Amino acid sequence: HTRHMGIIDVVDLSRSFGGQQAVDDLTMSVDSESITGMIGPNGSGKTTTFNLITGLLQPDSGRVEFRGTDITGWKPYRIANEGLGRTFQQARVFDEMTLEENLRTVETPDDDVDEAVDRWLSFVELDDHRHHYAGNLSGGQQVLLGIARTLMLDPDLILLDEPFAGVNPGLVDDIAALLERLRTEEGKTVLVVDHEIDEISSLCDELVVLVDGHQLLKDEPSVVREDDRVRESYLGL
Ligand code: ADP
């Protein structure tokens, strides 16, 4: 049957490691062209959920649908080619390559590689550093370069794993503004994992709160922050 609710629909998804139920009968969806945050305490299943959505891990049961297509069990490259891109927590850039070379290592579906390189380097506002080595960039700039590499795949949905981790406060706002432009200027959907609710509240339309591998609630950040269960179990207020 068709049950197409969001750009991503996770349905009854479970995955355990040994006796540890990392993701436990999780059902959640992400609306098209939203910026959705996924938050939860350490060990609540955020990274496992990400890896299940992007094909790095296989679920024990349940499924993942992308635009209504069941992508459960697909290989990561096939999921990426379908339009679902991701970044990694440790921005994966090649230190000893220039920024331009870093982007050229990505197999873009774009016919014109030069144009794609220009487009995404300027989108993340790193064109001035085009011929510099990536290893010389700051941590925050490397996150931006990692995002640009993912954008070379021209994904409709981009998943970001803790993009603000270890980034100095000045660049946090730049990265947040960039994600907002991805939605408004490029029509992309953004799903961002963070363990700090404060960091992503102003950026996100909605927050999914994970606790013990399942969704505690999903709502606007202002509502989530006032929720008693979140305040008790997560914020420790
Ligand atoms: P989060 O990203 O929210 O911190 P994770 O998805 O990393 O949570 O982890 C959820 C639970 O699954 C934790 O208890 C963690 O120890 C366990 N877990 C995650 N990955 C593995 C793994 N590869 N092997 C064993 N246990 C794991």
Give me the CATH number covering residue 24. 3.40.50.300
**Residue with the nearest Cα to atom 23 of ligand 1?**
17
Q: Of the candidates 147, 218, 219, 221, which has an alpha carbon nearest to the alpha carbon of residue 188? A: 147
Full residue range of the structural domain in which residue 139 is found: 8-235
Please list the helix, strand and coil fractions of the chain in percent, rounded to the nearest 5, in that order: 35, 25, 40
The verdict on residue 171 lying in a domain is yes
Tell me the three state secondary structure of residue 236.
Answer: coil
What residue has token string 């700051």? 138
The per-residue pLDDT for 108 is: 85
140 Cα: distance to centroid of ligand 1 (angstroms) = 26
pLDDT tens for 4-62 read 589 999 999 999 999 999 999 999 999 999 999 999 988 999 999 999 999 999 999 99
**Residue with the nearest Cα to atom 7 of ligand 1?**
47
Q: Of the candidates 207, 198, 212, 214, which has an alpha carbon nearest to the alpha carbon of residue 41? A: 212
Domain count, the chain: 1
The verdict on residue 102 lying in a domain is yes
pLDDT tens for 53-78 read 999 999 999 999 999 999 999 999 99
The verdict on residue 1 lying in a domain is no
Share of the chain above pLDDT 90, in %: 73
Residue 170 has pLDDT above 90, yes or no: no
The per-residue pLDDT for 213 is: 96
Inter-residue contact 172 to 164 (CB < 8 Å)? yes
48 Cα: distance to centroid of ligand 1 (angstroms) = 6
Q: Of the candidates 179, 51, 155, 33, which has an alpha carbon nearest to the alpha carbon of residue 106? A: 155
The verdict on residue 2 lying in a domain is no
**Residue with the nearest Cα to atom 25 of ligand 1?**
17
Contact residues of ligand 1, CB 6 A cut-off:
17, 20, 22, 40, 42-48
What angle separates helix 139-151 from helix 113-123, to the nearest 10 degrees? 140
The verdict on residue 202 lying in a domain is yes
Give the atom of ligand 1 at the shortest distance from the alpha carbon of 41: 3
Provide the whole-model pTM. 0.92
213 Cα: distance to centroid of ligand 1 (angstroms) = 9
The verdict on residue 3 lying in a domain is no
The verdict on residue 54 lying in a domain is yes
Residue 159 has pLDDT above 80, yes or no: yes
The verdict on residue 126 lying in a domain is yes
What ipTM was predicted for this assembly? 0.97
pLDDT tens for 173-208 read 889 999 999 999 999 999 999 888 888 899 999 999
User: Region 138-166: what's the mean pLDDT?
Assistant: 91
Q: Which two tokens stand for residue 48?
A: 């496992």
Pocket perturbation via mutation, ligand 1, pick of 10, 14, 15, 20 by most ligand atoms within 8 A of CB: 20
Please state, rounded to an integer, the average pLDDT across all residues of the chain: 91
